[in-house]
């Protein structure tokens, strides 16, 4: 494999990685300022019982702002649908040498001594295959739909 083919292969692998990952954009959160209210233990217990399944904060907001209260979104706890698939993914992560391989490649690249020979390409291919396999196992374990 000549130098031009090495570069083309490296670019193809790089674009394959880029195509499979997506950057997550964070949306700015609306600012919230806490209000502190001091109550006795008895009053706190009364508030909790009146809240009946709501948080005390949500209950107080509902009482003060009635129907206009904005509901706070809670993180949904999505249980792992397939514990066995999750275990397989974690086992793959532990058994693979991804971190070591990537560290070696990054070190050589930073030193300017990364030669895209068959060994380097094999390391990249092996790492890519492990990452794809782990991703597929995690998607399966979490019950996510590909697409």
Q: What is the DSSP string of 62-84?
A: HHHHGGGPPPPPPPP----S-HH
Stretch 14-38: mean pLDDT, rounded? 68
Q: What is the pLDDT of residue 79?
A: 63
pLDDT of residue 40: 94
Percent of the chain predicted with pLDDT > 90: 6
Q: 79-103, pLDDT tens digit by residue?
A: 666 777 777 777 777 777 777 877 8
Structure token digits, residue 83: 């514990």
Could you give the CA distance from residue 27 to residue 137 in angstroms, rounded to a whole number? 29
Q: How far is residue 132's CA from residue 17's CA, in Å, rounded to a whole number?
A: 9
Instruction: Quote the pLDDT of residue 68.
Output: 66
Query: In terms of DSSP H, where are the helices of the chain?
Result: 3-20, 41-51, 56-65, 83-95, 98-111, 118-142
Contacts made by residues 96-104, CB under 8 angstroms, sequence distance 24+? 96/127, 96/130, 96/134, 98/127, 98/130, 98/131, 101/126, 101/127, 102/127
pTM of the model: 0.37
How far apart are the C-alpha atoms of 7 and 123, rounded to whole Å? 15
Q: Note the pLDDT of residue 43.
A: 92
- pLDDT, position 5: 64
């Amino acid at each position: 494999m000549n130098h031009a083919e090495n570069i083309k292969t490296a670019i193809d692998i790089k674009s394959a990685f880029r195509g499979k990952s997506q950057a997550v954009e964070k949306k700015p959160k609306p600012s919230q300022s806490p209000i502190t209210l001091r109550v006795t233990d008895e009053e706190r217990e009364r508030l909790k019982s009146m809240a009946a399944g709501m948080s005390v904060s949500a209950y107080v907001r509902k009482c003060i702002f009635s129907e206009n209260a904005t509901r706070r979104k809670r993180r949904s706890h999505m249980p792992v649908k397939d514990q066995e698939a999750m275990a397989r993914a974690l086992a793959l992560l532990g058994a693979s040498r991804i971190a070591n391989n990537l560290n070696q490649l990054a070190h050589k690249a930073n030193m300017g001594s990364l030669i895209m020979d068959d060994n380097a390409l094999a390391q990249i291919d092996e790492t890519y295959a492990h990452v794809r396999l782990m991703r597929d196992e995690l998607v399966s374990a979490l019950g996510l739909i590909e697409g």
